[in-house]
Structures are given as structure tokens and as C-alpha cells.
Structure 1
Amino acid sequence: MDSALEKARRRIEELRREIEYHNYRYYVLDDPAISDERYDALMRELIKLESKYPSLVTPDSPSQRVGGKPREGFATVRHRIPMLSLANAFDQGELRDFDRRVRSSLPGERVEYVVELKIDGLAVSLRYENGLLVAGATRGDGETGEDVTANLKTIRAVPLRLRQTVPLLEVRGEVYMSKDAFRHLNEAREEAGEPLFANPRNAAAGSLRQLDPAVTASRQLSIFAYGLGEVEGVDVRTHAEVLSLLREMGFPVNPHYRLLPDIEAVIDYCSRWQEERFNLPYVIDGLVIKVNSLEQQARLGATMKSPRWAVAFKFPAEQARTRVQDIILRVGRTGVLTPTAILKPVRLAGTTVSRATLHNEDIIREKDIRIGDMVIVQKAGDIIPEVVAVIPEERTGDEKPFVMPHHCPECGAKVVRPPGEVATRCTNIACPARLREGLLHFVSRNAMDIAGLGPAVIGQLLAAGLVRDPADLYALRLEDLVPLERLGKKSAQNLLEAIEKSKSNPLYRLIFALGIRHVGERAARILARRFGSLDRLCRATREELLAIPEIGPKIADSILTFFAQEQNRRVLEKLVAAGVNIREEVVDEPGYKPLAGKVFVLTGTLEHFTRQEARELIERLGGRVSSSVSRKTDYVVVGEEPGSKYERALALGIPILREEDFRRLVQD
């Protein structure tokens, strides 16, 4: 073997082992051993080597988590062992009834129970053959689900290769979105004037069922494994052993499960979580109780819909009545006016609630919410207070309808509601509220990460006229900060050190911090790696932006609009003059792409290329591979034993490339 190729193969294998080890440390052990920046550097090196040597790419490589083009639809998958739903219990009496049914079917036998948190997400099945992930599907109706393999691979907590090899292992798990990820996703959608997700479960389900895996990858999904389906080469006798095995295999298993001796201990444990659930970083809607012995489970069997050996204890929906005392408007960093209900304080889901976002004018009209109304409130997914409904029979006639103003409440500028959007926006880019929110975003943890610059300090800096844009932060001096309230000399010095440290942040952090509409953290990373410098990104054309698979027309147009504004360019010049890092290592710098814009379809078995190698080669030369033949297809590459795509191409008159023709085309 060529020495350079062999050297690359060894390094690629080393990088894959190291990356998956750190995934295991982070997602399973919850004990990261390296920084995010170091992890990203390892991934960049792997992608760079695999791009240079596409023949070394394998399906279980970490680089394949965020790959592939948008799909045209999901194939149907039949579960060989059905994914049954669970019967529900809503109180202690129903839990004791479940226990009586179990013990009556197992007379005289000792019965232990495993109790697990019921994660509020989307049930999935992951199929591994000889240790490799080969398929993933949603639960669907329990009998059939949808093939979402490509999307599940984007979840870093999902192992692509098991830590122990067995002939067959089908793992059942729950894909979920954390409270923080849900909050950030809805904040971004609200700023963009897009519809909001109702709760983390809906957000997780919608994210996993995206036809474009790149969208799923951007949504920060995770997973907890909780059981097995079809298996070969596995010897476990209890459900507790199943959970232990799953963890050993490399899956995150929720740490709060307990093996308990009887139903009274189960009831005590369920009662404990009624309140403690609010402290979790994810949403649970109850607990699941399972007979521990797998042999006893088999004898208990199942009904047509649910197993007789398990039950879900569901928490009651917690709601409260209170009064809307006022409706105020908050102006975000992109100018969106968000109405918020000021409520008479009420205890709800573990906290005192005094505000509830109303999102936009349409929701207020749809629910007919008026100032002075008595309303029912709850927390969406135990996170965001929301008004569920108005109690119209308690109206007195003094209630006042809310009317969206024609001018910004912060600066007085005209507000507009663009056609097709639900958001109303302030048109003044110099609006103080937009500046304040923009600065808070700029210094936030995932952006420039400047510790000590919270809302109170930002407010004082603006009031004192010390800061008019993000670049002014880098001109602050000790004598500017010491006079501010609650900022002594030591705190001021720490703040200046944090500001100075932020100058050396990676370029993607700066791009994200700029607050370009539709450009989230992942898009910022992609742009930084593709263009390599802020100056190069500023000069990017629409065609260059759209040539990046993950960048669509909406993001491209937003980037062009941002850099076309004179005020934004002045801020960038000040950031450069202050010494903020504006460069990053270039990955795949755009150049001449002989297949740019061409759409290929592959069918049949190629002699000199694997399907993945042919795809990588086409994409490296600027082309795109589609899964189906249409009139927009430019070429169909045909190998041995081609399928119906070949017949479709002939019928449509699409040019056919035999393998030799394809090799000449890509080598010219």
C-alpha cells in the first residue's frame, strides 16, 4: 500500500477512536476530558484527511454524522418486535392495582420493579449488526415507523459503533431536547418571525423528522436508551442488567433509575419526583415501572396495545388561575416586538410565575386575551409559562383589548409586519433596545463568552454612553468601569481581562456574536471553516454562499444584507482595529468546480468505486447526488444490475454514464 495512504489510514483510525472516546466521556459518563475547541480540532483534522482520501471513509466514521443531502421522503420500516405503548396510571391507587394484577399472575413469586424517569420525547429504534449502526426508525404506530437513520446519526450521543461487538442488537430509546436547547431554538425562531414549537417534545419530534439531516444536526438533540428489541449474542436476565449492558455498549442511560423491592417503595419514589422533576435539565412527564425479571415479563405477556409487565405513572398537568394585569412589549436584537403578559404572581410547577410570553399579535387575537382577563396558565414542557385559555365568564366589562402599536415603544420608530411573517419589527437599527439585546447576545456564553457582562452592567454602560456598539467594549478602560455601581476595582479588572481574552476566540464565535439573522452557531462554524477569514466572508457572493450545502437562500440573503450595511461594516473595522481574531483554518476553500450545479443519480454496483466514494468525488467537484431521477437530473451513473432508476432515466431521456464514462468525466 502507498506509504502516504497507509499513514493517512492509521491517523484516521486513531482520530476516530479518540473522537468516539470523547463522545463516550461526554454523553455517557458526563465527564468531558477535553475542551470543545480541542474536540472541534480533532474533527476538522479527520474531515480534512477523509476529504483527501475518500476511499478511507467508512459509514461508522464520526464525520458521517452530519452528511448527506436532503431526502425527498422517509421510507417505511416494520418493527420485527413491536414497540408497544404503555398503559397509564394517574394515582397511587392505580399503581397498586397494577401491582395486584402482576402478583395475581405470578402467585407466590417475589416481584421486583425497576423505576425509570419517563423522558418526554420521541421513541426510536436503533439496529446494530456486528457492532455497526445500520438502521434507525421512529416508533410510528408501534408496528411500522419511518427510516430516520441519517438523522439519528447526527446525534452525537448515538454510537455509530458499539463498544462491544455482538451479532445483532436492537436498542430502544427516547430522543429528547433539553430545556436549554428548546429555549434557545424558540428564541431564535421568535427573533426570525417563525412559528414556535409548543414544547420540547414537539421540537424533538419535528427536528428528528426533518428531510434535511443538516437541520436535525443543528437542533442539539440527545437520547437516553431504555430497552432492547431483537437481539443475538446477548445474555441478560433482568431489566437492570439490560440498562447496565446498554451503558457498557456506549449508550447514555438515564442515571435516575432504581431497582425497588415492592410497590410501596415505587410509590414513594414516584412521589419524590413530583417536585424534583422541575430541577432536571430535560422534561419528564412521569415515571415508568417495569417488572425486573425478563423471564417474568415473558410470562406476563402483553395485550394488543401494551405490555402487562409495565405501566407509566403520569404526572397531572399543573395549571393555575391568575389575572392578566398588563401586556407589555419587549424589543429583541433583530427588532421583533414580543408581547408579554404581566400576571398576578402565582405558584406553578415549582416556581412563582409573574410573566408569560404571548409570542405575537396573532396568538393574542386567536385566544382573545385582554388586559384584566382571568386566565389559566401552565408551563409549556415545565419550562415556559404560557396562557392556555381565557375564562370569559369571569369578565366584568372592564377588560381592555390589546392593540399592537404603530411605533416602537423604545425609540418611537415606525414598526412593520412583513408579508407572510407573524412578527412585527422595529425598523430603526439604532434602537436602544435592539442595541441592548444585541450586546447581551454578543457577550453570551456561546458567542464571545465575556464573563461579567450581564444585563445590569450592559445597562449601565449604555446609560453612561460608554458603549454604542459591540466594538466599543474593547475600548473600555479601568477608569470607565470603576465608577459603575457594584463594580469595584477588582471586578472591573476581571472584566477587562475577560474582554481581552475574548479577542483570541475562534472566528465562528465572532460570526455568531454579530447576530446575523438566521445564522446560528452551527452555520457560523460552517462559514468560518469555509471562508477562513471575516474579510473573505464579507466579500462572498450569493453564488458562493449557496454552493455550501448547509446554507440556503434565506441565510445567504441575510448574510449579504448584513455586510451590505455601512453601519455594520464600520463596527467590523473597529473590531479588527481592536485586535479581535478574524481568521480560522480554511476547510475546502472554494475554487474551480468542474461539476458545479450538476445533479447525478447513482444506480447499480460500480467496479472501481463504492457508492460513498462516487458520492464524495462528485460533491468534491461541485456536483450533487440525488436519490431519485427527475427532469432536473443531469446524469445517471449506471453500474452492474441497475434498478428502476435506469429505466426512469431512459424514459426521460437523461444522459446515461457507464462507469468508464464517469471515470473520464471526473478525471478530465
Structure 2
Amino acid sequence: MNTNEANLKINELRKLLLYHNKLYYDKGTQEINDSEYDELMIELRMLENMYPSLVDDKSPSKMVGGSPLKEFSQVVHPVKMLSIEDIHELKEEESNSKGLSPENNLTEWYHKLISSINDPKFSLTVEPKIDGVAVTILYENGSIKYAATRGDGSTGDDITQNILTIESIPSEIKNLNKGKVELRGEVFMENKDFEMLNESREKNGESKFINPRNATAGTLKQLDPNIVSNRPLKLIFHSFGLIENNNFSKLQDFRQFLIQSKLPFDNWYRVIKDEKNLIKSIRELNHDRHTFPYATDGAVIKVNESKYHDHLGQTSRFPKWVCAYKYKPEQGQTKLNAVTIQVGRTGVLTPVAELEPIFISGTTVSRATLHNDDEIRRKDIRIGDTVIIEKSGEIIPAIIKVNKEKRPSETHPFNIFDFLGGICPSCDSKIVKEEGFTSWKCTNVSCPALLATSLTHFAGRKMLDLDGLGSSLAETLVTNKIIKHPLELFELDEEKLANLELAPANLASGQISKPRRFGEKKAKKLIQSLIRAKELPLSKWLFAMGIHNFGESAANECSRLHKDLSEIINSQLIAKTIERWEIEEWLKSNSLKKIKSINNDSNREKNIATYNDNKQKIAEINKFLEPYNIASELGGVACKSLISFFNSINGQSTLEKFDKHKIEPKSDNYNPINSLVVSDDKKLHGSSWVITGTLTKPREHYKKTIEELGGKVVNSVSKNTNYLLAGNKAGSKLSKAEKLNVNILNEEDFLILLTQ
């Protein structure tokens, strides 16, 4: 490889890594697993070492974390939050071919440490590397000052209110009376909590999180702490930054401080003094970690004695006195016996691999998701193949690749449409793939596989809150062909409903009950709640419809921007949002640099012109949408799904049934542009508000009240802020408001202001 070829490859790797960094750090999601990311980074660093003239300080190999987000106020770290150097366990083939132990890279790191410290009595600490999100919490004179993300290592996002929703995190620490103490740790979700959260999201029509780390990152980026408080976050402290009036000569002294202060810490912990016990502890942890309730993919090893930390120093990315030893992802080979197609509540067809059972990472794996046709085609997965399964911090195992050397000659390429003959496995209706989406769907609203779950979603507390309509009644209504569409609930006869015989229930004793009659009382309550539901606001109805990729937050934002269903269907805002998303998707795949780099392309000038036109269109659309300040939850994907639904046969049928039953949902939070609904005589006209802390009513209640009275609610305190409405556990926003002499009100003060 010459310098020009190396330059092209390095730029390609940098662009790819920056893209995945943005997904991982800024958006709380990911498209590749950790081991695939690590391989890209290792390749980039290797090439940069081989070609020093191509090294760039802005390369991902020199960066820490992601950029701070503009939606949050920023915190400058008093002590930089650097990353940790990754030391990888050797893969089996490399270990065998070179005759090295799997921990060879770690022993090399250890020997460098010995030569740098030159003290045979130094020790190391070993603890699990939790797969979560790094945070720092600063306490001043015992009270919490702020909590922040790592960000780019120098500046992070202020997430104080989100952190204070975690039960184990105190707003005050009694034995910290003087000075500042900066505690650093990892926010995470336990595996069982993650599974329950994903089940709930699926029922609510929201996309599932990829893994616990992805769910944690997405939660911490929420602007509403009330949403965060309903997510099962936990935090474990493992280190410190700025310390005043405290002297931890050893890291184990800091751990003792955590124990005495009753702060959360990890129970698995070792202090070791030689190479033999280092390797022993690493292997013990590799065995024990499969029993932990949370995801971990390695060990963090630190020099115990604090005096050596400054002596060893740091690079621009990580300290030299600590490393993260990454275990190789546990893999296994097994046979793909069959593919099952599941029909979800929104009609999406998901292929699932049925595997010969195999034991990986402490569990027996017999199924793995195949995601969609594109994923199957990319990996060329076929029934009968021997596949390589990996479980690396993921709750759901993944098929990494196919062992094509073991492929039977009679296998054929797999695709969902041909496999199903183009029809839904549940109702025999035709399946479709909507433009711009990767998944096949059944759009038959009467499909038994999705109708029963659609009914329970329709009746949920956050939707129409239909009293008595649970899964048992829903299944009976579908099985007996009484209901073929959720809106047909409004045609139910109370007497017939009371006499319905429900399927036997599973009792706590393990026995099965006798068949049950629904009964008059329950029937009356359900009919009454159906009558009430007709008057519910637009946002409730939008969410109740169970539209794919369109959750509760999208429904609320859509209702803010539109008065009724008719406005939504003919909305320029939604049309422009979709247009912008489609152009952005094109620009992602067609960068100007990529267009110019293609040799002998007769369409190059035309493509450059298209690129420039699209950039101009984006600017024009942004200018059009800017006054509406549309929340990210109502983005291109959500809008596309919404309009696709209303244009579908199911959507048209739904609109007809709205007319038939005289249901005309109206927005109860209509406020597309604040200035259009504000008049000078409104009590809070022109005032700027920030809401913080834990309040007795949902934050949305106060936001709505303020906006109805002419005020504007913003996310961060500034010199332009007029009022701070502060509840319990108010953090850095309260401190900043005090410094800027902003009017600070509690809930009682707020009510007094409104009645003056």
C-alpha cells in the first residue's frame, strides 16, 4: 500500500468511525457491535502508525467520546474525563498461531507499567467494566452541584435532573462537609429491567432499544426528567475527579469512602500485587461476569497508589495508569434449522432464526433475530447453514456470519417474500414493503396475530383507557370474530358483552380456572369508558391507533401542531418534514467528496448539481419549519409512517369508521407557534421560564399552563430567563439562576403568581 492508497483508506475509516461515534454518543444507538467498532479503530491506528505524515489531531483515534448536545446546558469538567485505553484479549486463531496466551497484550501492558514505576510493591485494582454511560457528579459542601456526561472529555451535558431520578443517588452526602468532591461512575440498566422496558415499548408502538447501553444513553438524553424517572436506571461509582479536603492515597481508600457513605459501588473487586494474580483475577471475572445482572465486556485495571497517577501521566485520550481489558466476544457455531416469521402488533414481519441449541455467555441460545431482508441478504444467511453466533453485551444473540465451508449444496438464498409466498402467515393477506422502509408488513387490520394486541394497546391507560378490556377479552373478541377493527368496539352491545364467555385463566396455584363470564358490571364499565373515549384529545387517539414508528411523544407533538385529523392528513409541516428526511438520506449516501471521487462518471456534473440543489432545498425547508420548533420525536420516519398509514387501506378504513361513529378528536395542546396564540393581556405574556426539579404534577402540566398564559418554556437558564420554577432536588439550574438573579418560584409561589 502506497501513501495515496493509505490516505484513501484512512479517510474512509475516519468517516466511518465518526458516523458510528455520532450514533453511539449523540443519538444513543448503534448499527455495529462493539467488537466490529474496535476492529475499525485498530485498523485506523495501525495505518496512522505506519504513515505518521497522515496523522491528524481531529482523527477519531485522537478523540474522546462525543460532542456535547445543544439541547442541554454545558458543564466544563474541572478534571478532564478521558477515555480508557483498550487492551484486547487475543482471538483464538491468533493466540494459537503465535503460541501466545490470550492475555498476552495485558501482560505487555503490565511489564511497561513495572518499568515506568520502578517499585516492586505497587498494586493494581481489578473491577468489572460495566457497559453503560460514563457520568460525573460534583458535590460541594455535601450538596449536589451538578451531574454531567463525559461529552468530549472537556465539556459535557448537564443531566442533573435526570440523574436525581435514580433512587440510589443522594442530593446530599452528610460526611462531605467541606469543599468539592467529584464522583465518577457508570449509569446502566440491568438485563431484566431492559427486557421489561423493551416489552413495554413494543406494546406502545415504539421501537425497541438494541441493548441496555443503548437504552441508557437514550434515556439520559431525554429533556423531560419525568420520562427518565419511569426508566429503570442504576448507577455505580468507580472513581473520582476533582477532590478538595480529602486525600485518597490509594483507590481502595476511595472504595472504603463509598462504602461508609452508603453510595452505590460494585461488589466484585480485587487488589493484586503481581502478574500471576492479575491473570488469575481476569480469568475469575470472565467466569463470574456471566452471573451479573448487568452487561459487562471486560475488566478495568488501575494502579492502586494515587501518587503514581501523575508520575505515569496521560495521552490526549487516556491516562497511562489504567486500562480496560476487553474479553473477546463469546462465539459459537451452530446450525440454522428454520426461520420463523413473527407478526408484530403494527403488522411488521420479523424473521427469527431457529437454532440448534448452543450454550454461550452463561445461557442456552436457541433463537436469534434476523432483523429484516436486508440483513439476511447482506450476510447471505440460508436455512441449513452453519452460523456463527455472538453474544457480546447483547441481550438478544446475533448471527455474525455464515461458515460457508460447511454450507450444504442444496441451500438457497432466503428472502421473506418468497418464503411466505407473499402472504401473511397469520391471515393469508398480501404483505407489503412501504417505500423508504426495510421491513415487510401485513396491513390487514383484521389479522388475528395483530388485532388482539392492537385492541389491548388501543385500550391502554395512556391511550383510550378502556376499563376492563384486557388481553383475555381482546382474544375472545377476535377468536369469536366479533371485532375485526378496533373502532368496531363502539358497536358492542352491552348485553352481549356481559354474556361473553372468556377463556380459562391460569391461577396462582398453577391450576386452570373454569370458563368465565364477562359479566354485567364489567360490560357496563367498558361501555361507559367507550362513551368517554369519544371526547378524548387528538394525541390520545393518534397514539391509540398503534402506528408503526409513531409513539406517545410523536403523538403529543403532532397534536401540538395540528387541530384535528383533517389538518394532519393535509399538513404541509408533515410533508416538508418527510421531504427533508428523504433529502438527508440521499445526502448521507452521496457526499460531495464521494461524487467527485468517482472516475469516468458521465453523470458527475449532474450529480454535483443535484447535490447542490438538495443542500439548497434543505436550507429552504429548515427556514420554513424553524418557527414551529418541531421536536425530534416527530421526525421524518415518524411522519412517513403516519402518512403511509392514512394512505393505506387500513388507514382509509379507520377514517371511514371515525366518520361512522361521529368521532372527531380535537387537539388539547394546539400551539404551533407561540407568538400566534399569545396576546399582550395574557398574565405571563413574553416571559421566559425554566422548569427544574421534582414537582407534584407532571412537568408537562406546568409547561402547558405557562404557554397558555403567554409564557415560553426553555431548557436552560440564561440571562434572558425571567422565572425558574423549582421543585425538590433542583440542581445546577437552581445554582445558575441564583447567580443570574433569576426569579425563583416553588409550586406555591407559582400558584400565588397566577392568582394575583
Shift of 1:620: 5.8
Q: Which 5+ residue runs of structure 2 have no aligned equivalent?
A: 1-68, 90-101, 572-627, 680-685, 693-701, 723-742, 744-752
How far the C-alpha of 1:493 sits from its partner, in A, is 8.0
2:382 corresponds in structure 1 to: 370
Match of 1:350 in 2: 362
- Alignment counterpart, residue 123 of structure 1, candidates 118, 134, 157: 134
Residue 413 of structure 1, aligned match among 429, 440, 454: 429
TM superposition shift of 1:330: 0.5
1:513-662 to structure 2, matched below 5 A, reads 516-517=546-547, 552=634, 554=638, 612=690, 618-619=706-707, 621=709, 623-625=711-713
**Is contact 1:85-1:305 (8 Å) kept?**
yes
Distance 2:199 2:316 in 1: 42
Give 1:279 shift: 3.2
Q: How does 1:21-40 map to 2 (within 5 A)?
A: none
Aligned length: 527
| 1:156 alignment counterpart | 166
C-alpha deviation, 1:418, in angstroms: 2.6
Q: TM-score, normalised by structure 2?
A: 0.53
Instruction: Summarize the Cα distance change of 1:73–1:167 in structure 2 as closer, same or farther, 3 Å threshold.
Output: closer
Shift in CA distance, 194/211, structure 1 to aligned 2, threshold 3 Å: same
Please give the alpha-carbon distance, in whole angstroms, between the structure 2 residues aligned to 1:274 and 1:211.
37
2:55 is the alignment partner of 1:88: no
Distance 1:422 1:188 in 2: 23
CA shift at 1:566, angstroms? Answer: 8.5
Mapped to 2, the partners of 1:445 and 1:111 lie a distance apart of 59
Q: Which residue of 2 aligns with 1:240?
A: 252
| Kept in 2: contact 1:597–1:622 (CA 8 A) | no
Paired with 2:267 and 2:300, the residues of 1 have a C-alpha distance of 14
- The 3 A distance-change label for structure 1 pair 200 and 564 is same
Aligned to 2:396: 384
Does 2:507 correspond to 1:492? no
1:137 alignment partner AA: T
- Alpha-carbon distance between aligned partners in 1 of 2:517 and 2:555, rounded to the nearest angstrom: 26
CA deviations over 1:321-363 (Å, ceiling 9, x no partner) = 2333322210112211111122233332222322211112222
Whether the aligned pair in 1 keeps the contact of 2:339 and 2:353 (CA below 8 Å) is yes
- Quote the residue 1:335 is aligned against: 347
State which of 253, 260, 284 in structure 1 corresponds to 2:265: 253
1:97-108 equivalent positions in 2, closer than 5 A: 102=113
Please show how residues 434-513 of structure 1 align to structure 2 within 5 Å.
434-435=450-451, 437-438=453-454, 491-492=512-513
SS in 1 for 2:513: helix
Deviation of 1:462 (Å):
7.5
Q: Percent identity?
A: 30
Task: Report the Cα offset of residue 370 of structure 1.
Answer: 2.4
Contact residue 193 and residue 421 of structure 1 kept, 8 A:
no
- Name 2:187's counterpart in structure 1: 175
Cα offset for 1:240? 2.6
Match of 1:227 among 239, 245, 250: 239
Contact 1:441 1:513 in 2 (8 A): no
Give 1:147's match in structure 2, choosing from 132, 147, 157: 157
> Which consecutive residues of structure 1, in runs of 5 or more, have no partner in the other structure?
1-69, 531-536, 574-588, 601-607, 629-635, 640-658, 660-664
How far does the alpha carbon of each residue in 1:513-532 deviate from its partner, in whole angstroms, 9 at most, with x for none?
968447999869999xx9xx
Distance change in 2, residues 1:416/1:86 (3 Å): same
Do the aligned partners of 2:334 and 2:389 also contact (CA within 8 Å) in 1? yes
Counterpart contact for 2:543–2:555, Cα < 8 Å: no
SS of structure 1 residue aligned to 2:213? helix
Q: Does the 8 Å CA contact 1:137/1:146 hold for their aligned counterparts?
A: yes
- Counterparts of 1:185-200 in structure 2 under 5 Å? 198-200=210-212
C-alpha spacing 1:354/1:417, structure 2 compared with 1 (3 Å): same
**Cα separation, partners in 2 of 1:487 and 1:188, compared to 1, 3 Å:** closer
1:123-154 Cα shifts (integer Å, max 9, x gaps)? 233334442333513253x4x34434368547
C-alpha displacement at 1:409, in angstroms? 1.0
Cα distance in 2 for partners of 1:613, 1:481 equals 49
Cα contact 2:430–2:442 (8 A) shared by 1: yes
Verify the 8 A CA contact 1:218 1:522 in the aligned structure 2: no
RMSD: 6.1
Q: What amino acid is the match of 1:240?
A: Q
Q: Which one-letter code corresponds to 2:709 in the other structure?
A: L
- Describe the superposition over 1:471-515 as per-residue Cα deviations: whole angstroms up to 9, x where unpaired: 99x979999656x89998965289999x99xx999x99x999968
For the residues of structure 2 that align with 1:477 and 1:193, how far apart are their CA atoms? 32
1:427 to 439, 443, 450: 443
In the alignment, which residue of structure 1 is the partner of 2:21? none
Q: Which residue of 2 aligns with 1:27?
A: none
